[in-house]
Amino acid sequence: MTAPRFVEVALPLPVFQTFTYAVDHEPAHPLVPGTRVIVPVRKRRAVGICLGTVDQTGVKSPRPILDVPDADPIFAERMLALCRWIADYYVVPLGLVLRSAMPSALAGATRPTPEQRTERIAVLTRRLPSLELRDKTFGRAVKQRALYELLESLGGRSPATHLMEHLGVSRGVLDALVEKQLLTLQESVVQRDPFALRRPLAPERHVPSAPQRVAIDALMAARPGEVFLLHGVTGSGKTLVYIELLREIVDRRNQTAIVLVPEIALTPQTVDRFRAVFGDRIAVLHSALSDGERYDAWLALKRGEKRIAVGARSAIFAPLDTLGAVIVDEEHEGSYKNGETPRYHAREVSVVRARDEGAIVVLGSATPSLESWHNADGGKYRLLTLPERVGAGRMPNVSVVDLRKKKPEAATEFSSVVSDSLERALHERLEREEQSILLLNRRGYASFVQCADCGYVVSCPNCSITLTYHRAPERLICHYCLYQTPLVTRCVRCGGSTVRQRGLGTQQVERLLGERWPAARIARMDVDTTSGKWAHAEILDRVGRGEVDILLGTQMIAKGLDFPNVTLVGVVDADVGINLPDFRASERSFQLLSQVAGRAGRGPKGGSVIIQTRIPTHHAVRCAITHDYASFVAEELPARRNPSYPPYTRLVNVIVSSLAEEPAAEVAIAAADWLRQLIISAPDLPVTVVGAAPCPIDRIKRRWRWHFLLKSDHPGSLTRVLRYFLERFDVPTAYDMRVVIDRDPVSLL
């Protein structure tokens, strides 16, 4: 075979989409589409992916290919086609899609090498059990004491870099505790594949319930490319259905499968259940893997040594041949949408990949996204229903505490946060040695601080966001850009000296619970306590072993947990987030409340749920209380009609941002007008433009943000308009102006 003279190559760079290179000598490896090639770019060596050969006509100044490192193409033809679809649909350069689709070890211009990394862990070596002892040890060294108490609340150990980079601890304070022999810094090998060390579970051996049987049979008889929406209430046994499907696909048909989960760290239980059945035929792709380990897992899948890829959204690019099924668990989760370019939605990519490769798709959820529900309703997807809990579980009773009816006179700090009935319920659980889960979807101690005299609220200098007050260590912090500053004691505007804390956060609830029940074992799970990638699983394992009485946390605790001894779920404030200026705010609140309520009553002891709210009549709250998905949908859908929002229309959010406010506004307005003109002049373009207007959060990380929306029922028209816009509309470069196109956005904030 003679080598082609010219090949087209895609580069993983935003500027060049494809480029033509010349092959000036016979490469050691075959140059077929999908092969990784090393090419010169601006005096550097860069990686490109060979797309195919071109003939010589019209090729301008081709460049030489420097190296062809891989004996086999890293992308199969089908994967290349999938990446082209993503590039086309989300209107992004193909090279950027290819870069997301390959393991990062292959994205560099060298060969990947496995690595072993170490990190320093700060470990408490001595405990100070009494307050007197603490006073004596620390005196006025408040920062040292804060660090000591922080480490205590983190279970006695935490990576030093996490303490310093995320929790505002200085090197000097760490050293001071070492000096006092309260702490040691231990060098330890980073445990990159914790799943390999987890104790295997025994595989489940349940006899499927009648609805499970119906679902399993339907999946066994599915047509290639068919998409199913598995709507099963919490605890209805969706995992068993997935497992039976995987047995059929992997064991009997000798095909392969992909299982997508929202976030591996939050769902170790689910992953363990798959591993129990399929053992080392599974590759678990998670963010804690090093580049080398990720590459190893990728190779094992490509070579067919592993048959099932389990992972978060990027696992949809797993290099599997003979793909038989894709399972998307908790398909409503927003984390399936990539937050940066290419902004693909893994659920949509699943459907496209499965259609091309003749695989079947199962989208599973207790609270399906309205898009998937709409697709099932219209006959595009086939609906399978698991209406009841399996085994000993029953749906929990949900009661509501209307916070508006509270008597303020008698309120203590505790009772203003935890109502009498929630307090009583928690107390009973502690006495009966049962477990409780408490949700408050707001981390930190207080969501903002305000001057009691003039009302001034401290906000971030870089973002239009109030600063959140954190304790241990004490500081104000921006949750968007991580700006930190010491707590102000005087108002910067009026000099007033009374600064109030407003808006309850998880740290404050933790403190109140600890004071009320000093003997209770309380675990807090939010971004601040889950430092290492593996911290989530450690906390959850403690809950599973019965070492935690009350698990308190943000939305992290609402996902997929299956603990039969949890008999109470309390929602401290159901209204957090429900009034965000976003068309999905109600849907997201309903999903969160339903999911967290679903953690109660999974065992023979039953369970109950108590929801505290100021808006008990809001349909997101009301329907979550009655476990009534159908009613929620019936009330929510009309709100998406006029003005129209998904699922009734396709949406694109175009965000223009720059370091100065006025130019961002001008460009956004000009771009929206330009598109309106374009659409008027082309009568066959059923696309409407809404806006421009400032984004709800109009400044993030020093960038001013404006946006406008494109709406259409015709996906193809949207693609054409966006493509034309990107090619023809001139974006000025001043003030670091940027235009981001977010197709099918999950949030408009």
Instruction: Catalog residues that contact ligand ADP under the rule CB under 6 A.
Output: 204, 206-209, 212, 232, 234-240, 390-391, 562
Query: Rounded CA gap, 723 and 727, in Å?
Result: 6
Q: Are strands 650-658 and 308-311 parallel, antiparallel or unpaired?
A: unpaired
* Choice between 390 and 665, CB closer to ligand ADP: 390
From the number of C-beta atoms within 10 Å of its C-beta (0-12, 13-18, 19+), residue 582 rates as: middle
Query: Rounded CA gap, 83 and 317, in Å?
Result: 9
Which residue type, as a one-letter code, is found at position 540? Answer: L
CB of 407 to Zn ion, least distance (A): 38
CB of 331 to ligand ADP, least distance (A): 12
Which residue blocks in 548-693 are alpha helix, DSSP H?
A: 585-597, 619-625, 629-639, 661-681
Q: Which residues bind Zn ion (CB under 5 A)?
A: 460, 462-463, 478, 480-481, 483
Residue 478 partner contact from Zn ion, ligand ADP, none using kind-dependent CB cut-offs of 5 to 8 Å: Zn ion
* Choice between 306 and 602, CB closer to ligand ADP: 602
Q: Are strands 256-260 and 323-329 parallel, antiparallel or unpaired?
A: parallel
CA 686 remoteness from chain centre: 33
Residue 633 partner contact from Zn ion, ligand ADP, none using kind-dependent CB cut-offs of 5 to 8 Å: none
CB of 699 to Zn ion, least distance (A): 9
CB of 695 to Zn ion, least distance (A): 14
What share of residues in the chain are helix, strand, coil (percent, to 5)? 35, 25, 40
Residue 370 partner contact from ligand ADP, Zn ion, none using kind-dependent CB cut-offs of 5 to 8 Å: none
Which residue, 487, 454, 258, 274, is CA-closest to 353? 258
CB of 703 to Zn ion, least distance (A): 11
* Choice between 279 and 391, CB closer to ligand ADP: 391
Q: Are strands 308-311 and 256-260 parallel, antiparallel or unpaired?
A: parallel
CB of 485 to Zn ion, least distance (A): 11
Half-sphere exposure of 231 (CA within 13 A, CB side): 20
Residue 565 partner contact from Zn ion, ligand ADP, none using kind-dependent CB cut-offs of 5 to 8 Å: none
CB of 697 to Zn ion, least distance (A): 10
Which residue, 482, 477, 474, is CA-closest to 466? 477
CB of 528 to Zn ion, least distance (A): 16
454 neighbors 492 (Cβ within 8 angstroms): no
* Choice between 85 and 483, CB closer to Zn ion: 483
Q: What is the DSSP letter of 28?
A: S
DSSP, collapsed to helix, strand or coil, labels residue 64 as strand
Residue 483 partner contact from ligand ADP, Zn ion, none using kind-dependent CB cut-offs of 5 to 8 Å: Zn ion
CB of 675 to ligand ADP, least distance (A): 44
Residue 462 partner contact from ligand ADP, Zn ion, none using kind-dependent CB cut-offs of 5 to 8 Å: Zn ion
Residue 322 partner contact from Zn ion, ligand ADP, none using kind-dependent CB cut-offs of 5 to 8 Å: none
Residue 480 partner contact from Zn ion, ligand ADP, none using kind-dependent CB cut-offs of 5 to 8 Å: Zn ion
* Choice between 383 and 488, CB closer to Zn ion: 488
* Choice between 17 and 397, CB closer to ligand ADP: 397
CB of 577 to Zn ion, least distance (A): 19
* Phi and psi, residue 129, nearest 5°: -70, -25
CB atoms inside a 10 Å sphere around CB 503: 18
240 neighbors 206 (Cβ within 8 angstroms): yes
* Choice between 230 and 467, CB closer to ligand ADP: 230
* Choice between 109 and 257, CB closer to ligand ADP: 257
Residue 390 partner contact from Zn ion, ligand ADP, none using kind-dependent CB cut-offs of 5 to 8 Å: ligand ADP
Query: Rounded CA gap, 568 and 414, in Å?
Result: 19
* Choice between 390 and 572, CB closer to ligand ADP: 390
CB of 363 to ligand ADP, least distance (A): 13
* Choice between 391 and 461, CB closer to ligand ADP: 391
In the bound complex, which residue of the shown chain has the CB atom lying closest to Zn ion? 478
* Choice between 463 and 557, CB closer to Zn ion: 463
Mention every residue, 6+ apart, whose C-beta is less than 8 A from residue 294: 103, 104, 105, 285
Residue 481 partner contact from Zn ion, ligand ADP, none using kind-dependent CB cut-offs of 5 to 8 Å: Zn ion
* Choice between 234 and 508, CB closer to ligand ADP: 234
From the number of C-beta atoms within 10 Å of its C-beta (0-12, 13-18, 19+), residue 473 rates as: buried
Cα Rg of the chain, angstroms: 27
Residue 562 partner contact from ligand ADP, Zn ion, none using kind-dependent CB cut-offs of 5 to 8 Å: ligand ADP
Query: Rounded CA gap, 436 and 428, in Å?
Result: 10
CB of 239 to ligand ADP, least distance (A): 3
Which residue type, as a one-letter code, is found at position 296? Answer: D
Which residue blocks in 378-505 are alpha helix, DSSP H?
A: 420-432
375 neighbors 369 (Cβ within 8 angstroms): no
Residue 18 partner contact from ligand ADP, Zn ion, none using kind-dependent CB cut-offs of 5 to 8 Å: none
Which residue, 480, 511, 387, is CA-closest to 698? 480
